[in-house]
Structure 1
């Protein structure tokens, strides 16, 4: 996962958590929901990057198998 991607995912999570908290304090259900959605977007970005990294590791492992022969 690239540094920029990690920052983007963590930024979404932090902004979402803050928005959810503000929504709870002000009793604004729409803001709470939007904040949770932003957190979810950050989680999805993180998961996508982890999947991408794992796929790249598999490709490198397979290449390594063929390079040894």
Structure 2
């Protein structure tokens, strides 16, 4: 069996790749707890929590402050 947490390694690697691709395309990638929608025109927020009962999305993209 793999060590604790290593089963999440593929997801972590995928997120790193997605973050890099978004940044390459001009998106400012932020964590939801530290998001600042005035930091730029194109903001990608990681693991954005939706309204109660709807879970979350891996990334929510904002342009000029609007999703």
Both structures adopt the same fold (TM-score exceeding 0.5): no
TM-score of the aligned structures, taking structure 1 as reference length: 0.33
Larger Rg: 1
Structure number with higher relative contact order (C-alpha < 8 Å, ≥ 6 residues apart): 1
TM-score of the aligned structures, taking structure 2 as reference length: 0.34
